Amino acid sequence: MLIQAKHSTIHDLSTNIQINVVAKKMKPMKSNSTQIKKRFRGYLPLVIDLETGGLNAQTDAILEIAAIPIYMDKNKKLIPGPIFHEHIKAHPQTQIHKDALAVNKIKPDHPFRFAIDEYDMLTQLKQFIADVLKQHQCNKAIITGHNVTFDLNFIHAACARHDFKLNQLHTFSCLDTVTMGAMCYGETILARVVQAAGLYFNHDQAHSALYDTKMTAQLFCHIINHLDQKVSSTTQS
């Protein structure tokens, strides 16, 4: 049974404190594992977003991560899967910049973050990916996100710090909703692409890894489903 999220996040808008509460296990989502494997050549899209202590993957800390695999339902429509979400303690070798915290509103030392060590995050992420790959009979996960090479570089840097092998994730290939947004709507900023797609975006929750991952997963599914429908209609006509 997959875990939807070890911690779900409640945003206290009056203090901008993120309070974690334990979430229950969720039932496996009804999906068509064979079709998702065929749709992306054996890869499983895994939407990931990080909140960090700066812009330099080699020197700055990872403070929050969320990941959502993309599934396919019985109607061959892409849908967001279960959520992996963790707050992370800054690794001793990394830095946190005040200007980064001003954007993501994270309070690194707040006890209600229930942050875990970076190595433990990598271990849990690896198991999470392994479980969803097995469920859907896919070879590897392919990182998916908005400006996702930023996140991939931070993950590579964290793995290097711990000599950690995250073999389930493709080393360099990625699917980026920035490119998709530019192609489909002429927009590149996440909030603007989401709104151009006709979806709702809550600016008060932006720059949380959990919220941005949820919205990016919805956007990715929306665009691919729309394109698949158009291709199918064109083929049949």
Name the residues annotated as catalytic: 207
CA angle 206, 209, 213 (to 5 degrees): 90
In 99-130, which positions are buried (b, 16+ CB within 10 angstroms) versus exposed (e)?
A: ebbeebebeeeeeebebbebeebbebbbebbe
How would you classify the pairing of strands 140-145 and 169-176?
Answer: parallel
Do 43 and 140 form a contact (C-beta atoms < 8 A)? yes
Closest CA to 118 of 169, 64, 68: 64
Give the side-chain half-sphere CA count within 13 A for 159.
16
